[in-house]
């Protein structure tokens, strides 16, 4: 029998009820290896449709989207942002091994059966490839494959995020040793993973896509703009101050990654697909 594990899934008012319900089913009743618990963080007030799904999760009814998987809902009175919501949720998880999931993505049935034994076997942080889709999960697009070996992951991390956040499973103690999630708009996960690598976490990726990642209209437009540039520069400054990158790497990253935020959307799409495809 494998070690018990939790699934941590945040939801907020901007999420879609049907997508959230599908995400919940995908990490519970659809899994070959089901989690020991699902921890949902409601990050601030939500509308009636999302509230109805949340109510169904704790109603104990046979129609619950989570089936017989125990569910804990942590309700935050106001929207606090992803990093703070995940920190609160992580503290509420009952188990050392925690799998991340998002409210609009779909975990494939063998995700946990593939990942959990590898974490039990000694890894602190494990991600997987993910496959993009727009609306119909049967119509799949680009697969994002990232380096599998620890050395390659560490080298990649000096330029780009070496993990697909919705695919990761980690040990809570390793996250805490690195200082946990810290607020940094749209860059919380990358900042955490870099600190975990720097702290000596044992890391890996599975080349098999285990998560379907929902992308909609405007996905590449959202990867640009001043807000992302500010977060990008703040992240790169943190990397340099921590000694995670060299001065040359800092200059390169600000120029290349910062410049990427302001190229035309079509160019951004082509560049992104070449980088992760």
Domain count, the chain: 2
Q: Give yes or no: residues 82 and 100 share one domain.
A: yes
Mean pLDDT of 32-48: 98
On whether both 11 and 42 belong to a single domain, the answer is: yes
Note whether 70 and 203 are same-domain residues: yes
Residues 6+ apart with CB under 8 A from 14: none
- For residues 250 and 276, membership in a common domain is answered with yes
Boundary-marking domain end, from 170, 200, 216: 216
Residues 102 and 229 both lie in one domain: no
Tell me what pLDDT residue 217 has.
44
Q: 65 and 169, same structural domain?
A: yes
Residue pLDDT, tens place only, 45-84:
999 999 999 999 998 777 899 999 999 999 999 999 999 9
Q: End of a domain among 216, 232, 260?
A: 216
For the purposes of burial, counting CB atoms within 10 Å of the CB of 120, is it exposed (0-12), middle (13-18) or buried (19 or more)? middle
- Banded model confidence at residue 220, pLDDT cuts 50, 70, 90: very low
Same structural domain, 209 and 254 = no
CATH of the domain at 107: 3.90.550.10
- CA-closest candidate to residue 17, choices 59, 47, 60, 61: 47
The model's pTM: 0.92
The answer on 274 and 148 residing in a single domain is no
Which value, in Å, is the radius of gyration of the alpha carbons in the chain? Answer: 18
How far apart are the C-alpha atoms of 257 and 266, rounded to whole Å? 16
Residue pair 126/170 in contact by the 8 Å Cβ criterion = yes
Mean local confidence (pLDDT), 125-130: 98
Domain shared by 187 and 113, yes or no: yes
Same domain, 206 and 235: no
Q: Give the integer Cα–Cα distance in Å for 63 and 53.
A: 11
Mean pLDDT value across the chain: 91
What whole-number distance in Å separates Cα of residue 131 and Cα of residue 102? 14
What pLDDT digit, counting tens, does each position of 171-219 carry?
999 999 999 999 998 899 999 999 999 999 999 999 999 999 998 644 4
Q: Which domain does 193 fall in, by range?
A: 5-216
**Within this chain, do residues 202 and 248 fall inside the same structural domain, yes or no?**
no
Query: Of 186, 216, 246, which residue sits at a domain end?
Result: 216
Q: Looking at the structure, tell me whether residues 46 and 100 fall in a common domain.
A: yes
């Amino acid at each position: 029998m494998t070690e018990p594990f939790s699934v941590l899934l945040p939801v907020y008012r901007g999420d879609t009820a049907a997508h959230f319900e599908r995400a919940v089913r995908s990490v519970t009743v659809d899994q070959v290896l089901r989690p020991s618990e699902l921890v949902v963080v409601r990050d601030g007030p939500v509308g009636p449709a999302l509230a109805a799904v949340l109510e169904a999760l704790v109603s104990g009814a046979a129609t619950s989207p989570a089936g017989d998987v125990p569910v804990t809902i942590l309700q935050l009175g106001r929207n606090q942002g992803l990093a703070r919501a995940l920190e609160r949720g992580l503290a509420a998880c009952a188990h050392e091994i925690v799998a991340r999931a998002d409210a609009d993505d779909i975990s494939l049935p063998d995700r946990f059966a593939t990942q959990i034994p590898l974490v039990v076997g000694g890894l602190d942080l494990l991600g997987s490839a993910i496959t993009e889709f727009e609306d119909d999960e049967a119509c799949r697009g680009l697969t994002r494959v990232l380096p599998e070996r620890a050395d390659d992951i560490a080298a990649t991390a000096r330029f780009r995020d070496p993990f697909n956040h919705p695919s990761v499973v980690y040990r809570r103690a390793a996250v805490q040793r690195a200082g946990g999630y810290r607020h940094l708009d749209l860059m919380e996960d990358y900042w955490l993973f870099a600190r975990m690598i720097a702290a000596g976490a044992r890391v890996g990726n599975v080349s098999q896509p285990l998560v379907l990642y929902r992308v909609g209209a405007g996905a590449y437009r959202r990867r640009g703009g001043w807000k992302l540039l500010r977060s990008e520069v703040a992240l790169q400054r943190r990397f340099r101050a921590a000694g995670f990158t060299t001065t040359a790497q800092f200059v390169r990253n600000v120029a290349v990654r910062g410049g990427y935020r302001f190229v035309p959307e079509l160019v951004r799409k082509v560049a992104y697909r070449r980088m992760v495809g």
